């Protein structure tokens, strides 16, 4: 990882320079940033272009401290729409380099069409169209760039990507200790690092944890024992300190499922089904365990038992969905519907939007869109399971996480780009030269077990 820093030290200095210009010389960055994007593209520095995209999306998630006199990172929010457009422009200009295009992108085309049709019911068609374009471009461009960078740079790409992401989390941890006014949320003790809120910091750390495990599983990069301990320390410091229950549970579910799959598929499925059937009892035991160890304040048990106000938002959202049940109202429809009711929802104990990707997607694309999206996602996952079982662990963790967050219907955030990177590894079956696949017969037995389970449930 240190070698990766040395390899890209000049580029890191460029990012630092742009950050300084954006924060302290605000108008200048609106010229500098587009110029840097164009120069990186012209010089075919596609790794740097990819990292710049992640960097800008992380900055755009940041929310100023309570006593801030101005939006010091507003430039990131204003300029981030350039990311998908720039990636697309240079992919087209260098189409011979980027070919062949990852085939699994085709799975999501029906969803793109359905959500585009929903724009006819959009409350704000201008915003809806912009969101649709950025969403489609990100779902096409990120797999194309990841596939290309893997082909061209191989291990260097993966170790550099992981190094950068861990570096951003490290900066956040340092800020949490050194400048808590920036790294910690308001007057609370919840850590948020370089992100806008604790939940964002926690989920980004979760995604990086999954990315790291996937990289190791497919032998995409060699990581030393000391580097593993450092990665673990930074990731779990972030997850525990931020106090995000969703991040902690998502990480635990992924690792538990991944570990059980190493033992036996049958045991894994029994444990997951038991979790679903006895979820209420498990929840009660969890709350009692928290009380026993005196951790009620850390886990915010009062809001846990009240559902954090999310149930209020879900009930309201479900009532509103009936107006655009089948096709939806296009991207942004959930925001445009919820925003006028924020005050009422706050009075009922809820802050924010829908906080459920299934409902948000239903808002935007209707039941037809929800069906088409998850058909595409699960098709990719089940095809990937034939290659490696980790795909199943990833799917289980993700499907749990999005029950409580709506990031899946957005494209210009720091989560979707990492999610699509992991999806590309699985969909394209990207592996390192030392990867040894599981025997085919074992995979066929696993798929047979899933098919039998499906038939029993029906």
46-103 tens-digit pLDDT: 999 999 999 999 999 887 655 554 567 889 999 999 999 999 999 999 999 999 999 9
**Cβ–Cβ under 8 Å, residues 330 and 134:** no
Nearest to 142 by CA among 72, 79, 88: 88
Q: What is the pTM of this model?
A: 0.91
What is the per-residue pLDDT across 10-47, written as a single tens digit (0 to 9) for each? 999 999 999 999 888 668 999 999 999 999 999 999 99
- Per the listing, tokens 């010091």 go with 72
Nearest to 50 by CA among 135, 153, 195: 153
Nearest to 336 by CA among 315, 312, 320: 320
How many Å apart are CA 300 and CA 302, to the nearest integer? 6
Parse the chain into domains and list their residue ranges: 2-457
What is the per-residue pLDDT across 160-196, written as a single tens digit (0 to 9) for each? 999 999 999 999 999 999 998 888 987 778 899 999 8
Interhelix angle 245-263/390-401, nearest 10 degrees: 160
- Per the listing, tokens 């290309």 go with 148
**pLDDT of the residue at 328:** 93
List CB contacts of 205: < 8 A, sequence separation 6 or more: 169, 234, 235, 236, 238, 239, 242, 247, 251
- Using the predicted structure, report yes or no on whether residue 441 has a pLDDT greater than 60: no
**Cβ–Cβ under 8 Å, residues 435 and 386:** no
What is the per-residue pLDDT across 393-419, written as a single tens digit (0 to 9) for each? 999 999 999 998 999 999 999 999 999
- Using the predicted structure, report yes or no on whether residue 363 has a pLDDT greater than 60: yes
């Amino acid at each position: 990882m240190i070698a990766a820093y040395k390899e890209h030290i000049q580029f890191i200095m460029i990012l630092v320079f742009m950050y300084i210009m954006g924060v302290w010389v605000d108008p200048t960055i609106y010229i500098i940033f587009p110029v840097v994007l164009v120069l990186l593209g012209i010089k075919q520095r596609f790794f740097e272009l990819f990292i710049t995209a992640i960097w800008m999306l992380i900055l755009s998630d940041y929310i100023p401290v309570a006593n801030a006199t101005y939006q010091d990172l507003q430039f990131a929010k204003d300029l981030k729409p350039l990311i998908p457009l720039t990636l697309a422009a240079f992919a087209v200009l260098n189409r011979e380099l980027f070919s062949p295009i990852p085939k699994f992108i085709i799975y999501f085309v029906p969803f793109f069409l359905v959500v585009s049709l929903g724009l006819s019911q959009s409350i704000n068609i201008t915003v809806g169209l912009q969101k649709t374009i950025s969403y489609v471009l990100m779902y096409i461009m990120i797999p194309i760039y990841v596939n290309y960078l893997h082909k061209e740079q191989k291990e260097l790409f993966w170790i550099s990507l992981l190094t950068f992401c861990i570096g951003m989390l490290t900066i956040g941890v340092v800020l949490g200790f050194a400048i808590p006014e920036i790294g910690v949320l308001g007057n609370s003790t919840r850590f948020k690092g370089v992100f806008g809120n604790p939940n964002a910091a926690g989920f980004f750390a979760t995604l990086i944890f999954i990315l790291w495990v996937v990289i190791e599983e497919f032998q995409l990069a060699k990581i030393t024992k000391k580097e593993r301990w450092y990665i673990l320390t930074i990731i779990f410091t972030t997850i525990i300190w931020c106090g995000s229950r969703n991040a902690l549970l998502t990480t635990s579910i992924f690792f538990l499922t991944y570990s059980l799959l190493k033992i036996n598929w049958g045991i894994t499925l029994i444990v997951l089904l038991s979790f679903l059937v006895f979820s209420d009892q498990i929840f009660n035991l969890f709350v009692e365990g928290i009380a026993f160890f005196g951790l009620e304040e850390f886990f915010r048990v009062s809001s846990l038992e009240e559902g954090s106000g999310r149930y209020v938002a879900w009930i309201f959202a479900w009532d509103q969905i009936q107006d655009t049940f089948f096709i939806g109202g296009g991207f942004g429809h959930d925001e445009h519907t919820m925003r006028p009711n924020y005050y009422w929802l706050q009075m009922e104990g809820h802050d924010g939007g829908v906080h459920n990707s299934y409902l948000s997607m239903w808002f935007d694309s209707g039941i037809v869109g929800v069906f088409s999206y998850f058909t595409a996602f699960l098709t990719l996952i089940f095809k990937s399971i034939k290659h490696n079982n980790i795909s199943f662990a990833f799917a289980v963790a993700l499907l749990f996480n999005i029950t409580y967050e709506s990031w899946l219907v957005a494209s210009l955030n720091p989560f979707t780009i990492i999610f699509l990177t992991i999806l590309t590894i699985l969909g394209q079956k990207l592996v390192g030269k030392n990867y040894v696949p599981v025997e085919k017969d074992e995979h066929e037995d696993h798929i047979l077990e899933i098919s039998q389970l499906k038939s029993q449930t029906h």
